[in-house]
């Protein structure tokens, strides 16, 4: 299992980024969560098989059609045993 914490900057709030991210993660069976941050960015944690976590990180680089992603920071972390995917 692999875990990645992602912070996505740009026009990513108010454009269904969180809901779309959660739907994509659930469809891949990736666990974790996604949440808006006060600074206008979106933070997410993805946990699962390495290929699926990498696919979610790649998805965050573009997001849903209405988003305009300007930057993505990714930090690898130790797996925590997340269950399910939550839109916080």
> The domain containing residue 24 runs over which residues?
13-42+51-70
**Residues 3, 9, 18, 68: which is the catalytic one?**
18
* Exposure string for 20-53, b = 16+ CB within 10 A, e = fewer: bbbebbeebebbbbbebeeeebbbbbbbbeeebb
Question: Is the Cα torsion angle 30, 18, 36, 86 positive or negative in sign?
Answer: negative
Position 82 in a domain: no
- Phi then psi dihedrals of residue 60, to 5 deg: -65, -25
The CATH number assigned to the domain holding 64 equals 3.30.70.100
Domain contains 33: yes
Question: Does residue 63 belong to any structural domain of this protein?
Answer: yes
Question: Is there a domain that residue 7 lies in?
Answer: no
Whole-number pLDDT of residue 59: 98
Let me know if residue 75 belongs to a domain.
no
| Catalytic choice (5, 11, 28, 36) | 36
Q: What predicted TM-score, i.e. pTM, was given to this entire model? A: 0.94
Q: Give the span between the Cα atoms of 71 and 83, in whole angstroms.
A: 27
For the segment 14-27, the average pLDDT, to the nearest whole number, is 96
**Known catalytic residue: 3?**
no
Domain count, the chain: 1
Percent of the chain at pLDDT above 90?
A: 100
What's the pLDDT at 31?
98
What the block records as the tokens of 53 is 């976590």
Measuring CA to CA, which residue among 69, 20, 67, 75 is closest to residue 46? 75
Annotation marks residue 18 as catalytic: yes
């Amino acid at each position: 299992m692999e875990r990645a914490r992602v912070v996505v900057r740009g026009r990513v709030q108010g454009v269904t980024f969180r809901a779309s991210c959660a739907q994509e993660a659930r469809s891949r069976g990736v666990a974790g969560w996604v949440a808006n941050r006060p600074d206008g960015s979106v933070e997410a944690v993805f946990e699962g098989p390495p290929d699926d976590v990498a696919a979610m990180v790649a998805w965050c680089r573009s997001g849903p059609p209405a988003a305009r992603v300007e930057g993505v920071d990714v930090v690898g972390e130790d797996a925590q045993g997340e269950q399910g995917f939550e839109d916080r």
